[in-house]
Structure formats: structure tokens, C-alpha cells
Homo-oligomer: A and B are copies of this chain.
């Protein structure tokens, strides 16, 4: 996995914090998954219910992995204040109290509404293998990379609110099989993601002090975009092009 972050041969001056942030943001412009054809189809009302269900089923695997990823990251941190800040990401997904539910439960509301059995969704047997490979690569990444680089990989959250705003509007306008209630996940992320991203961005700005570390952080955001992009590629081949791999979900 180390090879995901490429090595640089010359020692260069660190970027200023402003330039560093620009480099991070430029990755989003270049390869965040809002540029993917499948996304455009999803938001533009071009998918049928089975295709949206396939997306929600697969995307569940990503939601499911995120608190494990955050716990893995926290397991490496010796600073109590950092952990206290980071732990609310786990609460956001899992819910702090049973009645609070959290993001994963909100996601299951969406898959319920799309007609998928809960056990089928949470068992993940119908998910595309690539989805699992990609999200587990993300979990491993935060275990194996230097901590500041691991934190940087979360920074696709900088680009998330605009995609979520667009998704809520696009999906509500275009599909009669979603409603305001089942879009709750994305509404909640509109406020959660910017808070998380601000903390992570400030952390890497202060802690990536060499040019090499800064470039590794930029590469981490690129890696994370690849994780997201790969999931849409697989959905596109299977559910738009019709090449569903053996054993994967088949819409009726």
C-alpha cells in the first residue's frame, strides 16, 4: 500500500499554507467523483429505481467502513484532544445512543425505501467486489500511512457539501421513489462535513512541515478520490453497461 503515495526525489522548499491548501483543493477540481458520468446520471434523473438501489446498496459498504476507518485512525493517536475531536465522526455514523441512530441508520432508511431487505444490505453479499476492495483500501490507508497523511485522506469532505446539495435537489426533483425523509443522510452531512474538514485541514497545515509530507497529503486526497471514483466506475459497468459480475445484486 505504501506505493500509493509516490516518492519524490528532490528535496524542495515547503509550500506556504495557502499554496498547500490550493494544491489540496485542486485535486477536487481534477478528480472528485462529481465529474463521473454515473453521478451525472444519478443527479439528472437518468437512472431507474433498480439502478439507484444498486448505488445505495454499494454505497452502504462505504458508510459501513467509515467508522472503522475513523477508529483505526484514532488507534494511532496519542493526543487525547485530537481523539476527542475525531470521535464525533464515529458518533455521527453510529449514533451515540441507540435511539440516535446516526448516519448508517439514515442510510438504511434510504435502502429500505428503495425496497432492499435490511439483512441483504448489511450482509453486503450483493455488493460489487470492487466496492469492498476500494473501501477496505481506505481503511488500510489510514493504518499504514503517516498520521498526517492519513488525516489528509479525509479531505474529500471539502468537496462534499456542494455534491450533497446538488444531490438532494436533483434526486428529489427527478425521482418519485425518494422523498425528503430518506434524503436525511445528505442533509445532515451538509453541516457535519464542513466542521470535520476544517479541523482536518488545519491539522495537516500545521503538521505537514516538509514539502515531501505536503505532497504526500495531496497524493492522499488523490488516493481518496480514486477510492470514490472506482466505486462509480464499477456501478457504471455493472448497472449502466449491464456487465454485472457473478454473484452481485441484480435488479428485478
User: Footprint of B on A, CB under 8 Å?
Assistant: 1, 3-4, 6, 30-31, 35, 37, 123-125, 128-130, 132-134, 136-137, 140, 222-223, 225-227, 229-230, 233-234, 236-238, 241, 243, 245-247
Whether A6 and B125, one on each chain, are in contact in the complex, defined by CB atoms closer than 8 angstroms, is yes
Nearest-Cβ distance from residue A99 to partner chain B, whole angstroms: 26
Which residues of the partner chain B approach A236 to less than 8 Å between Cβ atoms? Answer: 237, 243
Write 16 A-B pairs (CB below 8 A) sorted by A numbering.
A4-B132, A6-B123, A31-B245, A31-B247, A35-B246, A129-B226, A129-B230, A130-B230, A133-B136, A133-B227, A133-B230, A140-B140, A226-B245, A233-B243, A237-B237, A237-B241
Cα–Cα distance between A31 and B230 once the two chains are bound (Å): 21
Looking at the assembled complex, report how far the CB atom of A38 sits from the nearest CB atom of chain B, in whole angstroms.
10
Query: Of the candidates B6, B229, B241, which one forms a contact with A129 in the assembled complex, judged by CB atoms under 8 Å apart?
Result: B229
B140 near A134: Cβ-Cβ < 8 Å: no
Name the residue on B nearest A130 (C-beta). Answer: B230
Q: Quick check: B246 and A31 within 8 Å, CB to CB? A: yes
Starting from the known contacts A129-B230, A130-B230, A229-B245, 4 additional A-B residue pairs (CB-CB under 8 Å) come to A31-B245, A133-B227, A136-B137, A237-B241
Set B4, B37, B227, B229: member contacting A246, Cβ < 8 A: B229
Residues of B within 8 A of A234 (CB): 130, 230, 233-234
Most central of A129, A133, A227, A236 by chain B CB within 10 Å: A133
Residue with the highest number of chain B CB atoms closer than 10 Å, among A6, A134, A223: A134
Point out which of A130, A222, A238, A247 has the most chain B C-beta atoms below 10 A from its C-beta. Answer: A130
Instruction: Report the minimum CB–CB distance from A251 to chain B (whole Å).
Output: 18
